[in-house]
């Protein structure tokens, strides 16, 4: 753990901040706001420790630390929150839900028995944010990193074609019916569809949380806690396709970055990381909540992402799946209105 400096006045938690988009977001925050205490929340502590050293050297901000967090384990998430609460840190003012996974080689499961992509990308962040809400000190911002792949595959935003998301209910995403899905599509297509659906879930969850906070008076000028979503665009070279075959990983890592940098909707992790940091820091976005950003442009998300009935079903089922008690869940009794 990095020793806390006295000048730091706020804490920012970034999941998956040890590489890719999360790393560059952490770098930008530590650079733009030297008074920020940045926590890299990562499963790989060895890699996270190295990233912290690099970030301190690059930014000069010594108030950066790594804490262990495995979003595939509800026990790890609860331990992370306990460890955070027990520490002597500046007030928590931002949570960046950035970490994500895409499994395309077959169905795998988290420690708790959930399908991995849904379990990590949605349920892990859902539990983390709900447990951290009581520790947020306003003005505070929560940002869920999502993707343009949550649009139907006819969306002009998609540079590379991905299967359209398919949301029927949250339990089916957590515990997929393998007998039916595997007859219809191969593992590669199923895995990519689970990813696009999880990105839709990120937006449904963010909008629902924003609605609940506004309903209870936590997104007002007096108690500004905002919740937004961020689409970084296509970022070749990142580790999101680590489960793909060797040829696809090679093309993604070494070929596409050069060919696609001038294409629409394609960004470097450095560029998108700076944009994400600005959503966390800039006064321009104070009070803005329940919105979808592509970079720094506020645009409409998919029509399905505004479906409150789906959002409520996702929220209530997620409560059940991760065993949130009423005092752990913000707006537990809030009904659809």
Residue 187, Cβ density class (10 Å: 0-12 exposed, 13-18 middle, ≥19 buried): middle
- Report cis status (omega within 30 of 0) of the bond before 139: yes
**For residues 178 and 285, is the Cβ–Cβ distance under 8 A?**
no
Residue 154, Cβ density class (10 Å: 0-12 exposed, 13-18 middle, ≥19 buried): exposed
Distance from first CA to last CA of the chain, Å, rounded?
45
The pLDDT confidence band at residue 224, using thresholds 50, 70 and 90, is: confident
At residue 309, the pLDDT reads: 97
Give the whole-angstrom CA distance, residue 75 versus residue 111.
9
pLDDT tens, 41-75? 999 999 999 999 999 999 999 999 999 999 999 99
Measured from the Cβ of residue 258, the count of other Cβ atoms closer than 10 Å reads 10
Query: Is residue 234's pLDDT more than 90?
Result: no
Angstrom distances, CA of residue 168 to CA of 29, 215, 319 = 38, 26, 17
Query: Is residue 103's pLDDT more than 60?
Result: yes
Measured from the Cβ of residue 86, the count of other Cβ atoms closer than 10 Å reads 8
Three-state secondary-structure class, residue 10: strand
Give the whole-angstrom CA distance, residue 233 versus residue 272.
8
At residue 329, the pLDDT reads: 58
Give the whole-angstrom CA distance, residue 223 versus residue 229.
20
pLDDT tens, 305-337? 999 999 999 999 999 999 998 776 554 333 333
User: Among 280, 248, 301, which residue's Cα sits nearest to residue 141?
Assistant: 280
What is the pTM for the complete model shown? 0.87
- The token pair that represents 62 in the structure block: 């010594």
Residue where the block lists tokens 């901000």 = 61
pLDDT tens, 147-205? 999 998 644 444 457 889 999 999 999 999 876 655 567 888 899 999 999 999 999 99
- The token pair that represents 13 in the structure block: 């938690």
The chain-wide mean pLDDT, for the chain, equals 85
Give the whole-angstrom CA distance, residue 294 versus residue 225.
21
Average pLDDT over residues 132-145: 94
Q: How far out from the chain centre does Cα 290 lie?
A: 15
Give the whole-angstrom CA distance, residue 224 versus residue 288.
9
Angstrom distances, CA of residue 175 to CA of 75, 194, 270, 305 = 19, 12, 36, 22
């Amino acid at each position: 753990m990095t020793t806390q400096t006295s000048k730091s006045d706020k804490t920012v938690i970034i999941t998956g901040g040890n590489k890719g988009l999360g790393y560059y977001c952490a770098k930008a925050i530590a650079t733009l706001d030297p008074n920020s205490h940045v926590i890299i929340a990562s499963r790989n502590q060895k890699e996270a420790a190295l990233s912290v050293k690099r970030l301190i050297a690059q930014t000069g901000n010594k108030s950066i630390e790594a804490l262990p967090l495995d979003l595939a384990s509800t026990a790890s998430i609860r331990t992370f929150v306990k460890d955070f609460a027990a520490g002597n840190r500046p007030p928590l003012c931002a949570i960046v839900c950035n970490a994500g996974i895409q499994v395309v080689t077959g169905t795998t499961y988290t420690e708790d028995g959930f399908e991995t992509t849904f379990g990590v990308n949605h349920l892990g962040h859902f539990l983390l944010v709900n447990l951290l809400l009581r520790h947020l000190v306003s003005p505070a911002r929560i940002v869920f990193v999502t993707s343009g792949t949550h649009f139907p595959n006819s969306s002009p935003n998609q540079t590379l074609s991905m299967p359209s998301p398919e949301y029927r209910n949250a339990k089916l995403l957590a515990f997929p019916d393998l007998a039916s899905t595997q007859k219809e599509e191969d593992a590669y297509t199923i895995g990519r569809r689970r990813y696009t659906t999880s990105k839709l879930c990120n937006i449904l969850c963010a909008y629902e949380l924003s609605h609940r906070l506004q309903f209870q008076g936590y997104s007002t000028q007096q108690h500004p806690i905002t919740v937004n979503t961020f689409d970084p665009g296509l970022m070749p070279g990142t580790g999101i396709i680590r489960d793909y075959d060797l040829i696809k990983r090679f093309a993604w890592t070494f070929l596409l970055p050069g060919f696609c940098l001038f294409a629409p909707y394609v960004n470097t992790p450095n560029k998108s990381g700076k944009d994400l940091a600005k959503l966390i820091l800039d006064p321009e976005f104070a009070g803005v909540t329940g919105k979808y950003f592509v970079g720094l442009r506020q645009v409409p998300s998919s029509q399905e992402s505004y479906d409150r009935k789906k959002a409520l079903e996702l929220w209530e089922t997620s409560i059940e799946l991760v065993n949130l008690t009423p005092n752990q869940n913000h707006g537990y009794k809030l009904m659809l209105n």
